[in-house]
Amino acid sequence: MNVIEINNLTKMYGKSRGITDISFNVEEGEIFGFIGPNGAGKSTTIRTLLSLIYPTSGSAKIFGKDSVKDAPEIKKQIGYLPSEVFYYDNMKVMDLLKYSASFYKKDCSKRIKYLAEILDLDLTKKIDDLSLGNKKKVGIVQGLLHEPKLIILDEPTSGLDPLMQQKFFHLLEEENKKGATILFSSHILSEVQRLCNRVAIIKEGKLVTVEKISTLQENNYKKIKINIQKEIPKDYFQLEGVTKLEVKNNMISFLYRGNINTILRLITELEIVNLWIEEPDLEEIFMHYYEKEA
């Protein structure tokens, strides 16, 4: 079953670009990554999905219901952390969280204390006195305090130190094991690589691809580096499947996608000092998608 269904979602700001024809589904129980550089349209997609802003065209469903028409009902089951959080400065953290909890008509006080303990958040402080990282923690607790079925996170780790990021990831994995579906938006590939099963890549408001993380990393790409004795013609490795080719003196490096035997035949013709064949990291694959689109 799909928890999120996005169909040809388009949002224009006058004549300026927002997002164009975005379509993807998020399955129940999945941790789904939504990735692209800052300004690619991730937040616009999420805000439109949550009907915080209305689409120019296209539609979205959450739990099989229309995200605009059924918004009040849907939002009871969703935990949302925006990329930037703003609060009433004079409120104490606990008062703010109790106020948030009051919308869900259930006692969340145990849950608030549990989350605050994990994230090392002082509930007695005023919002005004908190650092950026601690304000982010308030947002995380606020998004999770009612044990939502769907958690939507927009750049959730900005402001958190590395140790706190690890605790936060553990917390998300725990929620996922309990059955929560998670949409995780980020421009940091290692986060997505660690948490997600599938990923949608967005660029300049358009969807580039939706892939399983394992497919992105699979054997269809190899990172090859060769140290040779003699220089070779510049076009020696210019064949289909070779990208990011760099030749510097006696060092050659490139990404290769295709029949490994074809490339090995070319390599064995050379006088090799050393050879490295590795799996590329997601970062390199991601850049390949971006360049290919360009």
d(CA 83, CA 65): 25
pLDDT-derived band at 290 (thresholds 50, 70, 90) equals low
Look up residue 69 and give its amino acid.
K
Contact 222, 260 (CB under 8 A): yes
- The answer to pTM > 0.75 is yes
Question: What confidence tens digit (pLDDT) does each residue in 181-224 have?
Answer: 999 999 887 788 889 999 999 988 999 989 898 877 665 678 89
Distance (Å, whole) CA 111 – CA 123: 13
Between residues 94 and 38, the one the model is more confident about: 94
CA distance 195 to 172: 9
Tokens of 236: 């020696």
- The owner of tokens 């699979």 is 218
**Listed range (7-16, 143-152, 232-241) with the worst mean pLDDT:** 232-241
All structural domains of the chain: 2-77+148-216 (3.40.50.300), 85-147 (no CATH), 222-278 (3.30.70)
Percent of the chain's residues with pLDDT above 70: 94
CB count, 10 Å around CB of 14?
Answer: 5
